[in-house]
């Protein structure tokens, strides 16, 4: 026996339930392939079976297969593509960027190692770079990186961010370069909040650990945090409060995959898989032209080095290096040796810039001139600002036991300094004060 009010209530409940049900069933899915820290591993060296994982050509094949199976796949990298350990690394870096362009990533975070050859070097590769806390650059140019990237996949809108840790900057010691990043998370917080309000899924890449990130910046409004890589192996995916935290492995040996179940813009379930790239994954044929070009460039670079060394060893270089000047000018040498000029190259190494031609030119002897500084291995006797940086190439002077004057003998002192003590690099330069510090 049903009375009328109860019937009405039941009907109302039914209506409500039906109206609500589609919402409850509206779980959506999203698959993300993520990576980070290629660390300059364009390809595995193949020296051992255990280490034979990864490489850009295999990655291209794997990504192609994954995209064919899951057309709405999102592919992002936390960045860290380059290494800067040796003279060939800049050339390799150039090809890593070019190779990554062919992989069609949806977003790539900017890490300090990606900036090792200057922001313009990275920006010249047309990669979907993201740097969410960039500051104003010293030359008042806008930074060339996007603050975030919005990517649509099916019904989902995903916004990728990348946080660069200011405290980790190798440029800390350099005047004016601090402004490359903004250490304050204020703008970043606002952007995250806006993204969540607009119903976007937020993904953040960083080199910090999730613990450091939570302490320094906070995890509010972050759905997925790709924390800093620690080792070759990927970490376990885990929830920290509302944030799903994943940790890529280093050296580009594997890829991580997240299959997410989403409800109303929130992650309600996830599956995490790590995809290794052993040599059973074939190299992608469409990467072959890129790879051939890279090998040709490496060979040309090597031959150039051999030529430079031959020139040095046959004694044809007009530069001799400070050690030779010392034999006759001990007094001047002693004063020079104790000056900042003598450690100018070490200071470049300290800021990870010892391979950047834009810096080397003033921190070595005769860079880019015939027989001048070429690299650490071939021309290790021409490091730093030496006698010949100021007096000019000294071979003829030496071979005539001092009777032939040095090339810059008729230059004024001021003109000598002005080669390097320019306004942008030495804003406080005052000849009288500076000369006193190095007078010999």
CB closer to ligand HEC, 58 vs 363? 363
Closest CA to 54 of 324, 255, 303, 300: 255
If one asks whether residue 415 binds ligand HEC (CB under 6 A), the answer comes out as no
Q: How far apart are CA 17 and CA 22, in angstroms?
A: 9
Q: Quick one: which of 34, 336, 355, 373 contacts ligand HEC (CB under 6 A)?
A: 336
CB closer to ligand HEC, 173 vs 187? 173
Q: Which 348-387 residues touch ligand HEC, going by CB under 6 A?
A: 348, 351, 353, 356, 358-359, 361-363, 385-387
Q: How far apart are CA 317 and CA 324, in angstroms?
A: 13
Q: Which 137-176 residues touch ligand HEC, going by CB under 6 A?
A: 173-174
Tell me the closest approach of the beta carbon of residue 100 to ligand HEC, in angstroms. 24
| Beta carbons within 8 Å of 363's beta carbon, 6+ residues apart | 344, 345, 347, 348, 384, 385
If one asks whether residue 274 binds ligand HEC (CB under 6 A), the answer comes out as no
Q: How far apart are CA 376 and CA 384, in angstroms?
A: 11
Tell me the closest approach of the beta carbon of residue 343 to ligand HEC, in angstroms. 6
| Beta carbons within 8 Å of 422's beta carbon, 6+ residues apart | none
Asked if 126 contacts 169 with a C-beta cutoff of 8 angstroms, the reply is: no
Site track for ligand HEC across 380-409, x = CB under 6 A: -----xxxxxxx--x--xx--xx--xx--x
Tell me the closest approach of the beta carbon of residue 117 to ligand HEC, in angstroms. 9
CB closer to ligand HEC, 101 vs 362? 362
If one asks whether residue 317 binds ligand HEC (CB under 6 A), the answer comes out as no
If one asks whether residue 230 binds ligand HEC (CB under 6 A), the answer comes out as no
Instruction: State the number of binding residues for ligand HEC (CB under 6 A).
Output: 57
From the list 41-49, 98-106, 304-312, 327-335, the region that binds ligand HEC by CB under 6 A is 327-335
| Beta carbons within 8 Å of 62's beta carbon, 6+ residues apart | 255, 275, 277, 281
Asked if 318 contacts 370 with a C-beta cutoff of 8 angstroms, the reply is: yes
CB closer to ligand HEC, 244 vs 385? 385
First to last CA, the chain: 113
If one asks whether residue 333 binds ligand HEC (CB under 6 A), the answer comes out as yes
If one asks whether residue 324 binds ligand HEC (CB under 6 A), the answer comes out as yes
Q: In a 10 Å sphere around its CB, with 0-12 CB exposed, 13-18 middle and 19+ buried, how is residue 71 labelled? A: exposed
Closest CA to 186 of 226, 216, 141, 142: 216
Asked if 98 contacts 67 with a C-beta cutoff of 8 angstroms, the reply is: no
CB closer to ligand HEC, 144 vs 218? 144
Q: How far apart are CA 374 and CA 357, in angstroms?
A: 10
If one asks whether residue 123 binds ligand HEC (CB under 6 A), the answer comes out as no
Tell me the closest approach of the beta carbon of residue 231 to ligand HEC, in angstroms. 29
Q: How far apart are CA 16 and CA 12, in angstroms?
A: 6
Q: How far apart are CA 139 and CA 150, in angstroms?
A: 28
Tell me the closest approach of the beta carbon of residue 364 to ligand HEC, in angstroms. 8
Residue-wise burial string across 237-272, b where 16 or more C-beta atoms lie within 10 A, e elsewhere: beeeeebbbbbbbbbbbbbbbbebebeebebeebeb
Task: Tell me the two tokens of residue 318.
Answer: 């007009």
Q: Quick one: which of 275, 332, 396, 407 contacts ligand HEC (CB under 6 A)?
A: 332
From the list 106-114, 136-144, 267-275, 430-438, the region that binds ligand HEC by CB under 6 A is 430-438
Tell me the closest approach of the beta carbon of residue 357 to ligand HEC, in angstroms. 9
From the list 108-116, 153-161, 194-202, 317-325, the region that binds ligand HEC by CB under 6 A is 317-325
From the list 5-13, 104-112, 236-244, 424-432, the region that binds ligand HEC by CB under 6 A is 424-432
From the list 100-108, 143-151, 200-208, 323-331, the region that binds ligand HEC by CB under 6 A is 323-331
Q: How far apart are CA 307 and CA 87, in angstroms?
A: 15
If one asks whether residue 322 binds ligand HEC (CB under 6 A), the answer comes out as yes
* Binding footprint of ligand HEC on the chain (CB under 6 A): 173-174, 320, 322, 324-325, 327-329, 332-333, 336, 340-341, 343-344, 347-348, 351, 353, 356, 358-359, 361-363, 385-391, 394, 397-398, 401-402, 405-406, 409, 413, 416-417, 419-422, 425-426, 428-429, 434-435, 437-438, 440
């Amino acid at each position: 026996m049903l009375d009328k009010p109860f019937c009405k209530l039941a009907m109302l409940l039914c209506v409500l339930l039906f109206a609500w049900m589609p919402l409850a069933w509206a779980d959506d899915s999203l698959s993300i392939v993520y990576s980070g820290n290629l660390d300059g591993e364009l390809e595995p060296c193949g020296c051992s079976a255990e280490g034979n994982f990864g490489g850009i050509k295999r990655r291209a094949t794997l990504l192609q297969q994954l995209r064919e199976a899951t057309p709405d796949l999102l592919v992002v990298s936390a960045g860290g593509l380059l290494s800067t350990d040796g003279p060939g690394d800049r050339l390799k870096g150039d090809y890593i960027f070019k190779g990554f362009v062919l992989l069609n990533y949806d977003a790539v975070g900017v890490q300090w190692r990606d900036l090792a050859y200057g922001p313009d070097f990275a920006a010249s590769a047309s990669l979907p770079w993201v740097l969410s806390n960039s500051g104003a650059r010293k030359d008042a140019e806008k930074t060339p990186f996007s603050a975030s990237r919005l990517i649509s996949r099916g019904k989902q809108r995903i916004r990728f961010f990348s946080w660069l840790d200011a405290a980790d900057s190798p440029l800390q010691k350099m005047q004016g370069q601090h402004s490359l990043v903004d250490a304050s998370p204020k703008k970043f917080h606002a952007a995250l909040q806006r993204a969540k309000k607009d119903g976007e899924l937020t993904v953040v890449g960083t080199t910090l650990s999730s613990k450091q990130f939570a302490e320094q910046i906070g995890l509010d409004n972050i759905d997925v945090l790709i924390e800093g890589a620690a080792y070759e192996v990927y970490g376990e995916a885990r929830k920290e409060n509302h944030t799903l935290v994943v940790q890529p492995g280093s050296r580009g040996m594997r890829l991580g995959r997240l299959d997410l179940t989403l409800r109303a813009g929130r992650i309600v379930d996830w599956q995490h898989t790590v995809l290794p790239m052993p040599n059973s994954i074939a190299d992608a044929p469409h990467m072959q032209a890129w790879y051939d070009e890279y090998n040709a460039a490496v060979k040309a670079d090597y031959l150039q080095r051999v030529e430079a060394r031959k020139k040095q060893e046959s004694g044809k270089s007009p530069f001799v290096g400070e050690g030779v000047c010392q034999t006759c000018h001990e007094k001047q040498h002693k004063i020079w040796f104790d000056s900042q000029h003598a450690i100018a190259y070490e200071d470049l190494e300290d800021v990870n810039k010892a391979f950047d031609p834009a810096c080397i030119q003033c921190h070595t002897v005769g860079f880019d001139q015939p027989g001048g500084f070429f690299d650490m291995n071939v021309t290790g006797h021409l490091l730093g600002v030496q006698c010949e940086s100021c007096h000019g190439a000294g071979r003829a002077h030496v071979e005539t036991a001092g009777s032939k004057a040095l090339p810059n003998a008729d230059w004024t002192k001021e003109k000598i300094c002005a080669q390097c003590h320019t306004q942008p690099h030495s804003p406080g330069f005052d000849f009288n004060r500076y000369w006193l510090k190095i007078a010999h």
